[in-house]
Amino acid sequence: MDIRQVGREHGARYVLEGGVRKGGNRRRITAQLIEAETGAHLWADKFDGGLDDLFDLQDQITERVVGVIEPSVRRSEIERSRRKRPDNLSAYDLYLRALPHMASAMPTEARVAARLLEDALRLDPNFAPAHAELAHCHEIFFLRAGFDPAGINAGRKHAEAALASGTDDASALSAAAFVIWNLGQDFETAVGAIERALSFNPSCASALLLGGFIYAMDANTVVATAYARRAPRLSPFDPFAIMAYLAPGASAVFEDHYEEAISLYAKAVQLNPRFSSLYACHAAALTLAGRVEDAKPVLRKLLELEPAIRSGPMMQIVRNPVLAGKFQAAARLLVLPE
């Protein structure tokens, strides 16, 4: 079957196709996601199972396919938006162009994203994904660019707009939940938005990753770890993939497993070496493990990225008092200003 023709006939930019092969009592099912216009393969995988576990195999395929389609299509759509002429951009195109600038989670790139998202909202004031990402921009401006209270107000305004829109976009809901927690410490609203996102799409990796972080700040180690472990299987290259290490890292600190926390935070740093908060967590874990000398070069890197860092506003996002006390003790030993 000609995939390009299928795309034209059905008005689809992307096509999911697959096949089944049989060998004895075994089945191999293949699946691939294809860009219809070009025929380019965006993703492919295979699934093996026997007839006796056919329903489990179906569930496995469904979870994997649903989980991978969202980020794979989004990457392709970002590239498509970049090829469009600037005078022919829709709100969706502007939103897509903003997303790569959010990857570092640092102010310089976030300011570029914010301008694109503001343009998107001028074209479509009710576009929930743009509201959610713009809220995230303001969260970055507050926590990593001087703690200006204006960032709190603007961030919460856009996050609340995304939640109030009635959207079923799981990624938008989870980004808004993350901001609601980090800027307002409204735990019930934040976890409610995460669970709402997962009710729309149980395979949304960003909802699992950001939800895992929010639950980790409450020291709910069971949920935080379960979410953090499941998400990378669905979307190994998700923009929020660092949360797969941050959430269990916080859980390890809470349980006094400091060497495990050190390892997890170090992996997060490798994944996004431009994100200052990762160095703060890594230095704190080293300090709590009694490795203050090892923490000093990590602290220097933190201060290079974020010279105006203060521990007080950062501590507000930790809901569990025991976990907060441990991070505060590390901050004092590292002589971070409050």
Q: Do domains 3-83 and 221-338 have the same CATH topology?
A: no
User: In which residue are the tokens 């703060």 written?
Assistant: 280
For the domain 221-338, what is the CATH code? 1.25.40.10
Long-range contacts of range 188-194, CB-CB < 8 Å, 24 or more positions apart? 189/163, 190/214, 191/215, 193/163
Beta bridge pairs of residue 46: 30
The confidence score (pLDDT) of residue 192 equals 97
Every domain of the chain and the residues it spans = 3-83, 221-338
Distance CA 169, CA 152 (A): 23
Structure tokens at 217: 């700040």
Full pLDDT tens readout for the chain, 338 residues:
889 999 999 999 999 999 999 888 888 999 999 999 888 999 998 988 877 777 888 888 888 888 888 888 888 898 888 888 877 789 999 999 999 999 888 999 999 999 999 999 999 999 999 999 999 999 999 988 778 888 899 999 999 999 999 999 999 999 999 999 999 889 999 999 999 999 999 999 999 999 999 999 999 999 999 999 999 888 877 878 899 999 999 999 999 999 999 999 999 999 999 998 999 999 999 999 999 999 999 999 999 998 888 888 778 889 999 999 999 999 999 988 87
The confidence score (pLDDT) of residue 310 equals 84
Q: Which residues contact 177 (CB under 8 A, 6 or more apart)?
A: 159, 163, 189, 190, 191, 192, 193, 194, 197, 210, 211, 214
Domain spanning 3-83, CATH architecture: 3-Layer(aba) Sandwich (3.40)
| Cα end-to-end distance, the chain, whole Å | 64
